[in-house]
Amino acid sequence: MRKKTLAIMCSAIMAMGALAGCGSSSTETTAATTAAADTTAAEAADTTAAEAVDTEAVEADTEAAADLSGSISMVGSTSMEKFANALSEVFMEKYPDVTVQAEFVGSGAGIEAVSNGSADIGNSSRNLTEDEKAKGIAENIVAIDGIAVVVDPANTVADLTKQQLTDIYAGTVTNWSEVGGSNSPIVVVGREAGSGTRSAFEEILELEDACAYSSELDSTGAVMARVASTPGAIGYVSLDVLDDTVKAVSLEGTEPTAENIKAGSYFLSRPFVMATNGEISEQSDLVQALFDFVYSDEGDQVLEAVGLISTR
């Protein structure tokens, strides 16, 4: 930008010199020369000012990045693994001197970790309980996620009502023929006790601790793999991890999509929570910076990239 400024000024000087060399002494020539010089000076000033602003912005960003250093620990929900990893990667790229460590051991364990001080953030794929809030744990909802009901790819059932889904998990419907499918037994797969996905799923269906599981698995990935490889299996997983190894069924005629969840027409949805011991304002500058990022336009881009819905 300095080269451009010098070039403009040099052009103006040369123009003035050329006019002088021609011996013109008329008032019109002098006025034109003066106007050209004034215009060039103004352009040079504007360019210099813009350059200064750009330089200040770059320096401010550099200083902000330099000021952030240290590590952040997140512990909790396996359903939040994809989001937490993407968030960590982008945040560490923005702030090279920061390390974000994430461990995925379940929502309950995450809340316990932040409560006892062994983690900065407890990731939970469910709302906090009143008891947890009473201990001073803050429920910071960062996204909304849908829970997809999945079956093995060969299953012909494409849609279930809420009552049918409830009956399947309660154990009162045990054969796919009872809900419009083939004559084959239903293999009910779910998550382990303490899972945020399980808690949200059972709460929405009003089946807390009343599901008739054939298998209780300790991660979202394990549920996906079991359903994909087991004829007649049904399970539930976070919407953002869906792939073509399983088949997602519609519920009440509504597909599990971000658009339908935003519209409120898909009933199986739950919050993604990044819990802290005390309010965000009480956390370290580094943790506060992470939340500022999550709740920014950049954070929304991360959420969108992993199939989640922003709360903003």
- 192 and 279 within one domain: no
CB 234 within 8 A of CB 151: yes
271 three-class SS: strand
CATH value at residue 127: 3.40.190.10
**What's the whole-model pTM score?**
0.68
Structure tokens at 242: 């869906």
Express as a percent the part of the chain with pLDDT over 70: 79
Cβ distance 168 to 179 under 8 Å? yes
Percent of the chain predicted with pLDDT > 90: 70
Query: Based on the domain organization, do 184 and 46 belong to the same domain?
Result: no
Per-residue pLDDT tens over the stretch 1-34: 433 443 444 344 344 444 344 344 444 444 444 4
On whether both 33 and 8 belong to a single domain, the answer is yes
Instruction: Select from 66, 87, 104 the last residue of a domain.
Output: 66
The pLDDT assigned to 312 comes to 83
pLDDT single digits (tens) 250-265: 999 999 998 898 888 9
Which residue from 117, 235, 223, 127 is spatially nearest to 187, judged by alpha carbons?
A: 235
In terms of average pLDDT, the best of 40-49, 188-197, 275-284 is 275-284
The residue-averaged pLDDT of 150-155 equals 97
* Contacts of 68 by beta carbon, 8 Å cutoff, 6+ apart: 95, 97, 98, 285, 286, 289
What pairs with residue 234 in β-bridges?
151, 188
Same domain, 183 and 238: yes
210 and 279 in a single domain? The answer is no
Q: What is the pLDDT of residues 40-71, one digit of tens each?
A: 554 544 444 444 444 444 444 445 555 899 99
**How many helices (H) does the chain have, and how many strands (E)?**
11, 13
In terms of domains, do 244 and 185 share one? yes
Do 108 and 174 share a domain, yes or no? no
Provide the number of structural domains found in the chain.
3
Least confident of 3-12, 94-103, 114-123: 3-12
Long-range own/partner contacts, residues 210-214 (CB < 8 A, 24 or more apart): 210/170, 211/169, 211/170, 211/171, 212/169, 212/170, 212/171, 212/188, 213/188, 213/189, 214/187, 214/188, 214/189
Identity of residue 205: L
**What is the domain range of residue 16?**
2-66
